[in-house]
Structure 1
Amino acid sequence: MVHLVLIMMLTVGVSTRACPIMCTCRNYPLDNSQKTSTYFTSVSCSSYTENITDILDNTTRDFEISNLHQQELADTLNNLIENKLDLPYLSNLIITKSEIENLNVSVESLERILSLTLIDNRLESLPEVFLNLQNLQTLDLSHNEIKVIELEPFRTLRTLDVLNLSANSLTKIDSGSFSGLNVLKCLDLSRNNLTKLDDQVLLPLSSLQYLNLSNNRLEALNEVCFSSLIMLQQLDVSWNRLARVAPGSLQLPSLARLLLAGNPQLGRSREAAVLVGTGRRLQTVDASRTGLKQVPAALTHSIRTLRLAGNSIQTINCGDLDSYPLLQLLDFTSNDLEVIEEDAMGRLDSLSVLYLTDNNIHEIPKSLPEKLKVLHLEHNNIQRVSSKDLLGLTGLEVLLLSDNKIRTVDEAAFSQLVSLVTLDLSRNPVTILQPGCLVGPSALQVLRLSSIGIISPAEEVSFPLSAPEHLITLDLCDSSGLARQFLADTATLAASRELQELDLSHTDLEFIRSDLLHYLPQLRVLHIKDNNLNCSHLEWLASWMRRQDEPEYRDIMCASPADLWGTPLVDLQDGELSPIETINQQENNIDREIINLQRENNTNLYQISTGQYTTESTNYISLAQEEIKNVTNITGLIDVTNYTKYFNKGETDFSKSNNPEITNEIEKVNIKKK
């Protein structure tokens, strides 16, 4: 066994070195076929440690150091250079919140470093000391204060793939700044102060695939600026101040994603009617919040995703979307939509996701595409769901109608939706949901009916979903009537065996039926906050909650009985009864014992009487037993046989009897009662 362990240690290259002080070390499996080790180590150190690289494990691949002064950083880098042979996997170096300016160290010998991250170091210029790592593939200089990029600073980084200069203070980039970056694929210049781009600045980047210019101050895009980017697949110029986009500037042969969002002046330009270029590969266009008042036309039919959220479009007419025949996702969120002509979307045969959220729509649009799978209609003014609104949508899987003004849901309104998985009718002024109004979606898994003021009493109306066999999530938060219906409808409960999450919070619940978990064996989360729970006999629920270990269960408090008020429900223990519960239990025991004794003594009583007792005598027995119950209704057990002998003597008024034996028994009862 010892030999086997030694062989394994040699095979995987395990080092016995401990993690350095003030550092965090984590091991991760290798994602390639390294033969000398099966994992690599990521080390992050928050302060300076002398000769730290002497302590690093030989499987270290990522090394992060933070909060170092200039001399501490220089010592650490020199130590790293001296011990580079002991760190064969080290390829990612991260330096944050440290003093790098004017650093006098030669790091050219760290040829194994492929990724260098220098974020949040308050750099005002490019750090020349690190620009000689000739094998560098990724350079991250984001979140600094770089204002100027000098001529050809990256000329030695011939293998650089990714350059991140985001979140700096760049105001201008001169021609020649990116010379030498012939294989660069990703350039991030977002969150700077750029107002324009020089026509030649991007010329050397013939291999560029992703360009991010978002969150700058660009005012225009000209035709020359991007002309050399024949490999560009994604262009992000969102959240600038664009007022003009020259049509030729977006005609890029490889462009697949064009992001224009957040340029409110763009929709007012002459080119607004045609924002989409002629690229044959263009699939995604985001023109949200660009001030558009109508659907822009496209010069290419390849678009699959079109986002027009946050504009001022009021009407969608037939023909507006004819230049997008292959659309799969269409987003009109937060426009001023009031009118959607009946066949405006009917010819979008590939459309599967439609967002119409937060508009002024008064009815569900007609003639929607048959292949539609997701329909968002939240936050509109829809007042009714009729049986004809959703005809033909047999493939619809998600329907969200929350936060509308729906008062009526017709019977069988969802009968066509045989594929529906998620339905949300929350926060609508519905007052009646007839039994069976949700019939149709036999595969329904998520049903949300929160904040619906159903007024029908539970005993008269059954739960509206009669076939919940596949239901996994049921949200009845703030819907007291529906919560009562669901808990009272034993048939629906019995069919909800797959239910895993049930929300009954804020539903005025006081009691929870003790067989709930029997009917819901798969239940994992039960939301019952903000109720006035009577915790008598809820030890079973407390035990279940402890097993689930959900943090929110600690906030569920008992409202009654009085001695448990304010007690966390989850703290109740099995077999633990409050004093009041103990008394009530003893009362029940007394009643049962008296009944049993009554049955035993009745035979003897009538045998002794041998016909001498009349009906009046029998009434005396009933009165005597009632007197006993009135006196002994708390604890203790009265021996009824002690009283039967007084019937033979004609004693009828036990409360005033002078018989010492009866008086003694009554005193005992009074003492026990107190």
Structure 2
Amino acid sequence: MKLSGSQRKVSSIMAGFHLLFTVLLGHVLGSLPATSPQHLPSPCLVVSLTNEHASATSGDDMEVFCDGRNLRSAPADLPLGIQKLDLSRNIFQNLIRETLAIHPTIHHLSLIYNKIRFIESGLFRGMKHLKFLDLSKNSLDVFAISKSSIGKLGSVESLDLSGNGLHTGMTKYFLRNSSSLLNLSLNSNSLIKIANDTFTGSPSLRKVSLHNNVILEIEDGAFNVLYHLRELDLSKNSITCITDFDLSQLQILNLSKNSLEAFQTVYSDSDYELVTLDLSQNKIHYFPLVPRRNKLAYLDISRNQLQGVNTMGTAEEIGNFREQSLAHNESGQYLIQQDFSSLNYLDLSYNQMKTIPQSFFNSMVQLEHLNISNNCIGSFLVEEENGLNNLKVLDLSYNSLRDMSFGKNTLMALEELFLQGNLLTTIEPHTFQGRPRLKYLLLQQNNLHICPSHAESSFSNNHKHHQGCVAFSSIPTLRHLYLSENHLKVLPNNAFKDTPLTLLDLSLNPGLVVGLNAFSGLEDSLVHLLLRENHISRLDVDLSSLNHLKLVDLSTNRLSMLPSWNKESSIESLNLGNNQLVTLDYTLVALGSSLKTLYMGSNPLSCCSNLRFFQLMQRSAVEVPDIATVTCVHKQDSEPVNIERVTEEMCHSLDNSSRSLTILAILGAALVLVVALGFLAKVCHNRRQTNSSTFNA
């Protein structure tokens, strides 16, 4: 919107009055200490960089910290020759010679989090060694309205103006005479447009940060004057389209958190220096068109609206790139194969892709990290020999994978494979055995079955051999294996033979039957064993045979008795919560020397059967994190009691009551016996008398 002539005159007059008022106010505020009471600040902290016992007045190689001291002006007694002065978090409002003591040796000046509304023109001219100037989190938009320049910043290399409420066009009053400026931060302002003259006064800039503004438009050539620009941050703005990217000297470009629908580079045979491109959290529909001759190593296109990985668009949108297009479809859109021979990291997660052709990875000979998680991919095949052979991390989690195949001699460098949250039911049994560097394998939330060992035990003979099972034996590099939520029914004997796992997660497989020798081969490697929520009622495995086992989670099962420990165990953390255990006496005996943490809540514990155990627990160093909820029952039909309240007297009184009842029962029985004997004696006596009378007659 343009202003009329009369409006411009009124605006100029008002700005002049505002400037005059601000200057006068600055002089008044500068004289406040002599005319009105002011709280004296606590002494500034003076730190010597060379000798902590140096004189506080010499100032050589010293940093002075006056932050958060309620200052309106710089202290007058600062040491001479200081290199760094921190005046942040005070109440400066006007920067004039009277409020800011000029120290020509200062290299670093911080005025962050003040209330600065005015800067005297030429104030920093005398600071010929000033390299870093931080004016962030102030109110410099008020100063910019006056259309005054802060003057020459001849030696300043780093300037931070973020969080000042600056609008479009205001930055030129700070950058007009900044020929040495290398780093500029304009983060968290209110800029809507980057004009083509914004940076004409600071041609040496190497890094510009415009994060968190409201930028909608970038005028043609706005950054072209910055021949040395290497890093540009335009993240968290409102940019909708980049169709003519031509900053060949740029190395790092961040366009994340905008509203981008497309990113395309102008056709050029020039070598582009771009190494890092972040396009995450936008609305991009088609794969970006990167420079033909690029050095791109990091590309993030996550959280967009990608339907596929081919670059698509009309001939007009793609421009001269149609010369190298591979094909076009019926709607006149072109599919372009691009060169990613330098790419090391690619993130395509959280999009809407259903398929990825194998040819897409043909040029990615240096790719080490590939993330395609949280899409709709149903099939992933790597069949060509030497395909993706530098890949170390592959994340295919949370897709719709039903079909997955890794050909021979592919993915030979793979170390981490994420497959959780898919629909995998059958895959080639030896898929993971052919990866000679695989360390971490996440397969939870699928529907896989574990193959029995070749030498099937009597245990495995009692169960049907599942077709399409997966083998986890003979993977000598594998350390972490996650198999939770796979509907596993059987854990065969020797399932992990010659696979030195340190972590094994078999949780959330209700009805899982664990073979007697299921963990055979893990005796000298397994450290973490997770078996929670499996409805296990009995576990016959000798856990003490696992010599390095430190953490065991058996929570939320149906155990009424503990697994056996045939020798002293190394377990340090044991979770027995939410089972059907009545007594735990055996636990501390078997684990007393190693146990550090024990969970045992939500069990029907008996108070008196565990009395010795509770007493030992109180004297031991074992931590019970859920002790506030651990209860036991000491009388039939009585309310549960927290185990911390159980006393020996409770059980003694119960024993005394039992003894009394026993004595009463015995006395009662004796009384009944005496009465019975008396009755029998009387009957016998009567019979004798009857017989005698009959004889006499």
Q: C-alpha distance in 1, partners of 2:426/2:42?
A: 61
Out of 453, 475, 499, the position equivalent to 1:441 is: 499
Paired residues for 1:484-495 under 5 Å: 485=539, 489-492=542-545, 494-495=547-548
Q: Which moved more, 1:148-157 or 1:175-184?
A: 148-157
Alignment pair present for 1:205 and 2:219: no
Once the two structures are TM-superposed, the CA of residue 529 in structure 1 deviates from its matched residue by 6.0
Partner of 2:134: 117
Partner of 1:100: 116
2:207–2:232 CA contact under 8 A, matched in 1 = yes
User: Residues 29, 153 of structure 1: CA spacing in aligned structure 2 closer, same or farther, 3 A cutoff?
Assistant: closer
Q: C-alpha distance in 2, partners of 1:532/1:422?
A: 34
Once the two structures are TM-superposed, the CA of residue 332 in structure 1 deviates from its matched residue by 1.0
User: Residues 361, 244 of structure 1: CA spacing in aligned structure 2 closer, same or farther, 3 A cutoff?
Assistant: closer
Partner of 1:418: 476
1:169–1:193 CA contact under 8 A, matched in 2 = yes
Gapped regions of structure 1 (runs ≥ 5): 1-19, 591-627, 634-651, 659-674
Paired residues for 1:126-275 under 5 Å: 132-150=152-170, 151=172, 153-223=174-244, 226-227=246-247, 229-230=248-249, 232-248=250-266, 253-267=272-286, 272=287, 275=289
Q: C-alpha distance in 2, partners of 1:292/1:100?
A: 46
Once the two structures are TM-superposed, the CA of residue 182 in structure 1 deviates from its matched residue by 3.5
Partner of 2:549: 496
Paired residues for 1:212-611 under 5 Å: 212-223=233-244, 226-227=246-247, 229-230=248-249, 232-248=250-266, 253-267=272-286, 272=287, 275-296=289-310, 297-341=337-381, 343=383, 347-367=387-407, 369-383=411-425, 387-406=429-448, 408-412=449-453, 413-442=471-500, 444-456=501-513, 461=516, 464=519, 467-479=522-534, 481=536, 485=539, 489-492=542-545, 494-496=547-549, 504-506=576-578, 511-512=583-584, 514-515=586-587, 519=591, 536=610, 537-541=613-617, 553=625, 556-561=628-633, 577-582=647-652
User: Residues 490, 379 of structure 1: CA spacing in aligned structure 2 closer, same or farther, 3 A cutoff?
Assistant: closer
Once the two structures are TM-superposed, the CA of residue 397 in structure 1 deviates from its matched residue by 0.5
Partner of 2:88: 65
Give the secondary structure class of the aligned counterpart of 1:474: strand
Deviation track 1:279-309 (CA, whole Å, cap 9, x = no partner) reads 3421122222443333333224221222221
Give the secondary structure class of the aligned counterpart of 1:580: helix
Q: C-alpha distance in 1, partners of 2:640/2:151?
A: 65
Alignment pair present for 1:631 and 2:663: yes
Once the two structures are TM-superposed, the CA of residue 339 in structure 1 deviates from its matched residue by 1.6
The code of the aligned residue for 2:485 comes to R
The code of the aligned residue for 2:347 comes to R
Q: C-alpha distance in 2, partners of 1:432/1:311?
A: 36
Q: C-alpha distance in 2, partners of 1:248/1:236?
A: 18
Once the two structures are TM-superposed, the CA of residue 503 in structure 1 deviates from its matched residue by 5.0
Out of 79, 83, 91, the position equivalent to 2:108 is: 91
Q: C-alpha distance in 1, partners of 2:592/2:79?
A: 51
Q: C-alpha distance in 2, partners of 1:212/1:135?
A: 24
Give the secondary structure class of the aligned counterpart of 2:413: coil
Once the two structures are TM-superposed, the CA of residue 384 in structure 1 deviates from its matched residue by 5.2
User: Residues 233, 566 of structure 1: CA spacing in aligned structure 2 closer, same or farther, 3 A cutoff?
Assistant: farther
Once the two structures are TM-superposed, the CA of residue 361 in structure 1 deviates from its matched residue by 0.8
Q: C-alpha distance in 1, partners of 2:88/2:42?
A: 9
Q: C-alpha distance in 1, partners of 2:66/2:507?
A: 46
Partner of 1:643: none
User: Residues 401, 354 of structure 1: CA spacing in aligned structure 2 closer, same or farther, 3 A cutoff?
Assistant: same
Once the two structures are TM-superposed, the CA of residue 527 in structure 1 deviates from its matched residue by 5.4
Once the two structures are TM-superposed, the CA of residue 253 in structure 1 deviates from its matched residue by 2.3
User: Residues 387, 517 of structure 1: CA spacing in aligned structure 2 closer, same or farther, 3 A cutoff?
Assistant: farther
Q: C-alpha distance in 2, partners of 1:455/1:580?
A: 40
Once the two structures are TM-superposed, the CA of residue 194 in structure 1 deviates from its matched residue by 1.7
Once the two structures are TM-superposed, the CA of residue 238 in structure 1 deviates from its matched residue by 2.6
1:153–1:177 CA contact under 8 A, matched in 2 = no
More helix by share: 1
Gapped regions of structure 2 (runs ≥ 5): 1-38, 311-336, 454-470, 551-569, 676-697
The alignment-based identity, stated in percent, is 20
User: Residues 103, 566 of structure 1: CA spacing in aligned structure 2 closer, same or farther, 3 A cutoff?
Assistant: farther
1:394–1:416 CA contact under 8 A, matched in 2 = no
Q: C-alpha distance in 1, partners of 2:297/2:230?
A: 15
1:477–1:506 CA contact under 8 A, matched in 2 = no
The code of the aligned residue for 1:411 comes to P
Q: C-alpha distance in 1, partners of 2:525/2:349?
A: 34
Q: C-alpha distance in 2, partners of 1:481/1:29?
A: 66
Deviation track 1:490-510 (CA, whole Å, cap 9, x = no partner) reads 434555267665555555666
Q: C-alpha distance in 1, partners of 2:592/2:396?
A: 36
1:158–1:183 CA contact under 8 A, matched in 2 = yes
Q: C-alpha distance in 2, partners of 1:29/1:518?
A: 59
Once the two structures are TM-superposed, the CA of residue 545 in structure 1 deviates from its matched residue by 5.7
1:449–1:476 CA contact under 8 A, matched in 2 = yes
2:106–2:130 CA contact under 8 A, matched in 1 = no
Q: C-alpha distance in 1, partners of 2:128/2:143?
A: 20
1:158–1:180 CA contact under 8 A, matched in 2 = yes
Q: C-alpha distance in 1, partners of 2:516/2:343?
A: 49
Q: C-alpha distance in 2, partners of 1:465/1:29?
A: 63
Partner of 2:561: none
The code of the aligned residue for 2:360 comes to D
Once the two structures are TM-superposed, the CA of residue 379 in structure 1 deviates from its matched residue by 1.0
2:344–2:368 CA contact under 8 A, matched in 1 = yes
Once the two structures are TM-superposed, the CA of residue 74 in structure 1 deviates from its matched residue by 5.6
1:283–1:305 CA contact under 8 A, matched in 2 = yes
1:508–1:531 CA contact under 8 A, matched in 2 = yes
- Aligned residue pairs, count: 555
Deviation track 1:231-251 (CA, whole Å, cap 9, x = no partner) reads x21112233333343332796
Q: C-alpha distance in 1, partners of 2:548/2:596?
A: 17
Once the two structures are TM-superposed, the CA of residue 164 in structure 1 deviates from its matched residue by 1.5
Q: Which moved more, 1:338-347 or 1:413-422?
A: 338-347
Give the secondary structure class of the aligned counterpart of 1:176: coil
Partner of 1:608: none
Instruction: Report the aligned-residue RMSD.
Output: 4.7
Once the two structures are TM-superposed, the CA of residue 193 in structure 1 deviates from its matched residue by 1.9
Deviation track 1:49-94 (CA, whole Å, cap 9, x = no partner) reads 5778479899995735336363xx769x956627x59xx8883514
Q: C-alpha distance in 2, partners of 1:314/1:39?
A: 61
The code of the aligned residue for 1:470 comes to S
Q: TM-score by structure 2 length?
A: 0.66
The code of the aligned residue for 1:99 comes to K
User: Residues 361, 138 of structure 1: CA spacing in aligned structure 2 closer, same or farther, 3 A cutoff?
Assistant: same
Q: C-alpha distance in 1, partners of 2:436/2:46?
A: 49
